[in-house]
């Protein structure tokens, strides 16, 4: 067993025995792991407070190459997000991020940029004006990092540039992006997006800070929320449990 030191975010925790826990940790260096934290719930345990859900912690693991549980030997919280303890909407958004990291990623498959995006998003959930747009942006970061980013300019089926019909675009939730008129017939799970909604998704998916200038009103963001929620649900094979609690 190799000893690995890494930053990690606990995305799931289950109590086992009297004082121990099995935790799912999304780490920056080695990806998602499942580990036993012996005695973590014991008073004065050296692990106490270092494995709280959604904190960013400095963690040392005895990492196993097999499917057996890793073992947590050290854990120190580096960053706690107070807004998650004060604001129910922020907490639900945090739980949604944990659900995406837990259910969309594979074990031992590192995505350091996704880890960084998660930490930044958790840090900003306390701002109710930015929260919805920040979560949407994180969903797109997940899709990009996991190789499932929808095509937003060229047809997802044939690769040709797509022009709007009027002010609407055909968007294949299963095929992964916009569809040209020739490829649209026969495609399953196709939504119709306005140019405004597609432009908002493009801005949210782009680097920089232009996403902060998007209209934050529910009327503007609800179609984006519906579209990205459908894509994520298709990838998971089921609707995320926390999705109905997000709002816009």
Instruction: With respect to residue 155, please indicate whether it lies within any of the assigned structural domains.
Output: no
Which comes out higher in pLDDT, residue 177 or 163? 177
Per-residue pLDDT at 193: 95
> How many Cβ atoms sit within 10 Å of the Cβ of residue 129?
9
Q: Per-residue DSSP letters for 131-195? A: HHHHHHHHHHHHHHHTT-PPBSSB-TTT--B---BTTEEEEETTTTEEE-TTT-TT-SSEEEEEH
Q: Which of 64, 79, 94 is the last residue of a domain?
A: 79
Structural domains counted in the chain: 2
Tell me, yes or no, whether 126 and 72 share the same domain: no
* CB distance 108 to 31 below 8 Å: yes
- At 38-76, the pLDDT tens digits run 988 887 778 878 899 999 999 999 988 677 899 999 999
State the residue for tokens 């816009």.
248
Instruction: With respect to residue 90, please indicate whether it lies within any of the assigned structural domains.
Output: yes
Instruction: With respect to residue 70, please indicate whether it lies within any of the assigned structural domains.
Output: yes
Q: Which of 38, 63, 79 is the last residue of a domain?
A: 79
Tell me, yes or no, whether 75 and 90 share the same domain: no
Instruction: With respect to residue 204, please indicate whether it lies within any of the assigned structural domains.
Output: yes
Q: Nearest Cα to 220, choosing from 236, 201, 207? A: 201
* CB distance 29 to 48 below 8 Å: no
Task: Provide CB contacts within 8 A for 78, sequence distance 6+.
Answer: 7, 55, 56, 57, 58
Tell me, yes or no, whether 33 and 144 share the same domain: no
Instruction: With respect to residue 54, please indicate whether it lies within any of the assigned structural domains.
Output: yes
**pLDDT of 144 above 90:** yes
Q: Which of 29, 58, 79 is the last residue of a domain?
A: 79
Instruction: With respect to residue 31, please indicate whether it lies within any of the assigned structural domains.
Output: yes
Tell me, yes or no, whether 72 and 90 share the same domain: no
Per-residue confidence band for 104, with pLDDT thresholds at 50, 70 and 90: very high
- At 166-208, the pLDDT tens digits run 889 999 988 789 999 999 998 888 999 999 999 999 999 999 9
Tell me, yes or no, whether 39 and 52 share the same domain: yes
Predicted TM-score of the model (pTM): 0.94
> How many Cβ atoms sit within 10 Å of the Cβ of residue 202?
14
Expressed as residue numbers, the domain containing 119 is 83-149+188-245
Per-residue confidence band for 92, with pLDDT thresholds at 50, 70 and 90: very high
**pLDDT of 127 above 90:** yes
């Amino acid at each position: 067993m190799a000893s690995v030191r890494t930053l990690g975010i606990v995305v799931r925790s289950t109590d086992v025995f009297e004082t121990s826990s099995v935790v799912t940790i999304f780490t920056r260096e080695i990806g998602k792991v499942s580990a036993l934290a012996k005695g973590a719930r014991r008073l004065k345990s050296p692990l106490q407070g270092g494995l709280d859900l959604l904190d960013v912690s400095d963690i040392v693991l005895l990492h196993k190459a097999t499917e057996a549980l890793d073992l947590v030997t050290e854990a120190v919280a580096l960053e706690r997000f107070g807004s998650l303890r004060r604001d129910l909407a922020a907490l639900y958004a945090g739980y949604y991020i944990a659900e995406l990291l837990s259910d969309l990623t594979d074990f031992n498959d590192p995505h350091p940029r996704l880890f960084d995006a998660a930490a930044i998003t958790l840090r900003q959930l306390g701002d109710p004006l930015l929260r919805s747009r920040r979560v949407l942006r994180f969903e797109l970061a997940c899709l990009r990092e996991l190789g499932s980013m929808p095509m937003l300019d060229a047809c997802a089926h044939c690769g040709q540039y797509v022009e709007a019909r009027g002010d609407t675009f055909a968007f294949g939730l299963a095929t992964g992006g916009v569809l040209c008129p020739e490829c649209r017939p026969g495609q399953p799970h196709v939504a119709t997006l306005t140019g405004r909604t597609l432009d908002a998704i493009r801005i949210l998916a782009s680097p920089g800070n232009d996403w902060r200038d998007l209209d934050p009103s529910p009327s503007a963001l609800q179609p984006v929320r519906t579209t990205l929620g459908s894509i994520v649900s298709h990838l998971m094979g089921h609707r995320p449990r926390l999705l109905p609690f997000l709002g816009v």
